[in-house]
Amino acid sequence: GPVHVLTLLEQIQEDYARSFEGRIELEAPERLWVQGDPERLHQVLANLVSNAIKARATRVRLVARDVSAGVVIRVEDNGEGIPAEHLSNLFERFYRVDKARDRERGGTGLGLAIVKNIVEAHGGRVWVESTVGKGTTFSVSLMRATAPQPQLH
Ligand code: ATP
Ligand code: MG
């Protein structure tokens, strides 16, 4: 059914409000809905935000935009970034950029494989852009939904 994007982003912001010392900023139109399963979409964004925090980001921006092809939600961080040679493998199961360092930070290397799976099951795509020392942006495209109609009895 229709998932209200701003509410989804606000839930993520709330989830991390206590544990994350940095800032999570939101930018989304009030009237924007996507098609999907709210719990699965929440899992996608939680995975991306937890990765940003593990990458030592102090600021994470969640930006949603209505584009002609649908809706794009971006998770932008100012963390350590990912070397270009790793970008094409990142969504593989168990793939980690720096095995020793990533092991010490916890995790299995499954998060992004799950993200890709969920997004593609929704008919969308996920991609990444990153600059070492500046930060990383993950983008998720989803199908727009119309606002739920008020129920008439
Ligand atoms: P899990 O998600 O299963 O707990 P994980 O976070 O290590 O473990 P993924 O979420 O699949 O696994 O991420 C794979 C690897 O990609 C990470 O180990 C990390 O090296 C790198 N990575 C992912 N997101 C970022 C990011 N925002 N900034 C820097 N590196 C990242
Ligand atoms: Mg992860």
| Per-residue pLDDT of the chain in tens (153 residues, 90 and over written 9) | 899 999 999 999 999 999 999 999 999 999 999 999 999 999 999 999 999 999 999 999 999 999 988 999 999 999 999 999 999 999 999 898 887 777 777 788 899 999 999 999 999 999 999 999 999 999 999 999 998 887 777
Strand order in the sheet with 135-142: 23-27, 59-67, 70-77, 135-142, 125-131
Mutate to test the pocket of ligand 1, among 44, 50, 51, 131 (most ligand atoms within 8 A of CB): 51
Minimum-distance ligand 1 atom for the alpha carbon of 52: 27
| Antiparallel, parallel or unpaired: β 125-131 and 23-27 | unpaired
pTM across the whole model: 0.95
Verify whether ligand 1 is closer than 6 Å to residue 114 (CB atom). Answer: no
Verify whether ligand 1 is closer than 6 Å to residue 112 (CB atom). Answer: yes
The ipTM of this complex is 0.98
Verify whether ligand 1 is closer than 6 Å to residue 136 (CB atom). Answer: yes
Residues contacting 79, CB < 8 A, separation 6+: 52, 53, 54, 55, 56, 57, 135, 136
Residue type, 93: R
